[in-house]
C-alpha cells in the first residue's frame, strides 16, 4: 500500500505545476479571461496540447497519452491551483468519450493535437429540473437546443445527447453566449439542426461521469489548496492591533477547519481516482463522494478566504474571487452535489 504518487506521477505533477506557473499565472491569464470572448488564446491552447493534456485519457494509437484517472486528477489539481482558463477539462472528457465510443479517427487525433475543440452538450434547460430529452436524432440529423455547452463558441464538434443516444455533430454552430460569474469558463446556448452520426448509447457517458467527478473534484481540491495557501500568507503578514491577524484564535480555528476540509478532500479525490483506475468495487461510491464533498469544501474554503481578507478580499483587483467563482462552476457542473448525493444513495442500495 502507498498513498503517495509513483515516480512518473510525481514527475507529471511537478512538470505540470512548473508549466502552469510559468505560462498560466493568474496575473497573465486574467487579462485573457476578462477580454477574450472565447476565454482562451490559440497559442496558449497549442502549448497545452504540446504537453499532451487534451488527449491525456486517449489511447496512444488514437493520438493520446493513454494515461488514467490518477494522472487526470494530477493535471486537474494543478489547473485548479492556477484557475486555468479555457476548455482543457471539457475537451479531455469529450476526447475520452470519443475514444470509448470507438471513434478513434481524424477528428479525435486533431482534438488530441489541439487543432480542434470538442466538448459535450447535454443540458436541455438552463435551470436544473426535469431532464426531459428535447434533442432529437432522426434521418441523420440532430435537432434541438442545448444549454450551458462548454466553450461552444470555440467548438468544432459537439457530442450531443439525443433521444436515440449520443450523437457527434460538427460545426459551425449557432451560439448564444451565456456569461456566468466564472471568468475562466465560457458557456453557450447552441441551436442544432445539423447532420450528425450516432456514436453510441447514452450509457457511454457513465464512465465519462465518473471521470468528470474525479477531475472536477481534483480541480476543486487544487482551487481550495491554493486559496488556503493565499490566505495563510495573508494571515502571517497582515497586521492589525499591532499583531499579525493569524495570531488571533478566532481565525486560527477557522483555518484549522479549512485545512481539515482541504486535506480530507485530498484523501477523497485520490481515493476516487485510484478506485476508478483499479476498477475497484467501491468506484461509484468513491467518485460521487469525492465530488459531493469537495464541492461543499471548496465553497467553504474560498468563501472564508474572501472573508478573512476583509475589504481587499471583495475587490476585483485581488485574485481570490477567481477561485471563489471557479469553485462555484465546478460545484454545480460535472454532476452537481444533488446529483452526486443520489448516486451515493444508489451505490449503497438505498
**Interface residues with other proteins (CB under 8 A)?**
1-6, 9, 70, 232, 235-236, 243-244, 246-249, 251-253, 255-257, 259-260, 263-268, 270-275, 278, 280, 285-286, 288-290, 292-293, 340-342, 344-345, 348, 350
Q: How far is the CB of 72 from other proteins (least distance, A)?
A: 13
When the beta carbons of 105 and 257 are compared against other proteins, the nearer one is 257
Q: Report how far residue 292's alpha carbon sits from residue 259's, in angstroms, rounded to the nearest whole number.
A: 18
In the complex, the smallest distance separating the C-beta of residue 53 from other proteins, rounded to whole angstroms, is: 20
- What is the closest distance, in whole angstroms, from the C-beta atom of residue 334 to other proteins in the complex? 16
SS3 11: helix
CB 39 within 8 A of CB 90: no
**Whether the Cβ atoms of residue 294 and residue 263 lie closer than 8 Å to each other:** no
Residue 83 beta carbon to other proteins: minimum distance, rounded to whole angstroms: 23
CB atoms near residue 102 (< 10 Å): 12
**E strand residue ranges, 122-215:** 136-138, 141-150, 157-162, 165-170, 174-177, 187-200
Nearer to other proteins, 204 or 255 (CB): 255
CB 309 within 8 A of CB 320: yes
Least Å from the CB of residue 319 to other proteins? 20
Q: Which is nearer to other proteins, 5 or 204 (CB)?
A: 5
Specify the residue, 118 or 292, whose C-beta has the smaller distance to other proteins.
292
Residue whose cell numbers read 466538448 = 119
Q: Is 322 left (phi over 0), alpha (psi -120 to 50) or beta?
A: alpha
- Give the nearest distance from C-beta 261 to other proteins in angstroms: 9
Give the C-alpha separation, 50 to 269, whole Å.
26
Cβ closer to other proteins: 104 or 289? 289
- What is the C-alpha to C-alpha distance for residues 229 and 78, in angstroms, rounded to an integer? 14
- The CB-of-297 to other proteins minimum distance in angstroms stands at 9
Distance CA 80, CA 26 (A): 11
CA distance 135 to 158: 13
The minimum distance between CB 20 and other proteins, in angstroms, equals 22
Of 45 and 274, which CB lies nearer to other proteins in the complex structure?
274
Q: How far is the CB of 67 from other proteins (least distance, A)?
A: 13
Helix (H, G, I), strand (E, B) or coil at 290: helix
Segment (H or E) for 244 = strand 243-244
Nearer to other proteins by C-beta: 111 or 224?
224
The Cα 43–Cα 49 span in angstroms is 10
Q: Which single residue is written with the C-alpha cell 448509447? A: 201
Cβ nearer to other proteins, comparing 9 with 163: 9
The SS3 of residue 6 is coil
Distance CA 38, CA 175 (A): 12
By beta-carbon proximity to other proteins, the closer residue of 132 and 243 is: 243
Q: Which is nearer to other proteins, 43 or 281 (CB)?
A: 281
CB of 302 to other proteins, least distance (A): 17
Rounded Cα gap, residues 119 and 104, in angstroms: 16
Amino acid at each position: 500500500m502507498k498513498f503517495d504518487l509513483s515516480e512518473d506521477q510525481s514527475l507529471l505533477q511537478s512538470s505540470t505545476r512548473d508549466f502552469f506557473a510559468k505560462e498560466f499565472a493568474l496575473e497573465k491569464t486574467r487579462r485573457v479571461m476578462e477580454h477574450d470572448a472565447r476565454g482562451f488564446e490559440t497559442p496558449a491552447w497549442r502549448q497545452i496540447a504540446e504537453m499532451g493534456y487534451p488527449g491525456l485519457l486517449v489511447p496512444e494509437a488514437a493520438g493520446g497519452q493513454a494515461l488514467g484517472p490518477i494522472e487526470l486528477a494530477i493535471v486537474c489539481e494543478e489547473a485548479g491551483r492556477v484557475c486555468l482558463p479555457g476548455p482543457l477539462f471539457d475537451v479531455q472528457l469529450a476526447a475520452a468519450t470519443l475514444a470509448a465510443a470507438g471513434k478513434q479517427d481524424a477528428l479525435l487525433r486533431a482534438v488530441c493535437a489541439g487543432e480542434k475543440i470538442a466538448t459535450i452538450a447535454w443540458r436541455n434547460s438552463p435551470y436544473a429540473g426535469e431532464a426531459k430529452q428535447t434533442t432529437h436524432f432522426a434521418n441523420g440529423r440532430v435537432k434541438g437546443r442545448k444549454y450551458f455547452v462548454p466553450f461552444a463558441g470555440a467548438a468544432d464538434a459537439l457530442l450531443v445527447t439525443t433521444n436515440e443516444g449520443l450523437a457527434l455533430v460538427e460545426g459551425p454552430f449557432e451560439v448564444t453566449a451565456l456569461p456566468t460569474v466564472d471568468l475562466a469558463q465560457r458557456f453557450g446556448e447552441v441551436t442544432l439542426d445539423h447532420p450528425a452520426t450516432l456514436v453510441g448509447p447514452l450509457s457511454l457517458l457513465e464512465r465519462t461521469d465518473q471521470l468528470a467527478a474525479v477531475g472536477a473534484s481534483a480541480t476543486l481540491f487544487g482551487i481550495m489548496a491554493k486559496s488556503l495557501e493565499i490566505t495563510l500568507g495573508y494571515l502571517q503578514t497582515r497586521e492589525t492591533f499591532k499583531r499579525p491577524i493569524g495570531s488571533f484564535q478566532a481565525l486560527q480555528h477557522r483555518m484549522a477547519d479549512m485545512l481539515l476540509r482541504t486535506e480530507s478532500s485530498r484523501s477523497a479525490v485520490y481515493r476516487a481516482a485510484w478506485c476508478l483506475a483499479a476498477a475497484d468495487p467501491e468506484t461509484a461510491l468513491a467518485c460521487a463522494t469525492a465530488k459531493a464533498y469537495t464541492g461543499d469544501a471548496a465553497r467553504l474554503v474560498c468563501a472564508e478566504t474572501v472573508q478573512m481578507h476583509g475589504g481587499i478580499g471583495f475587490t476585483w483587483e485581488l485574485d481570490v474571487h477567481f477561485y471563489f467563482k471557479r469553485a462555484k462552476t465546478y460545484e454545480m457542473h460535472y454532476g452537481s452535489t444533488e446529483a452526486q448525493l443520489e448516486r451515493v444513495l444508489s451505490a449503497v442500495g438505498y
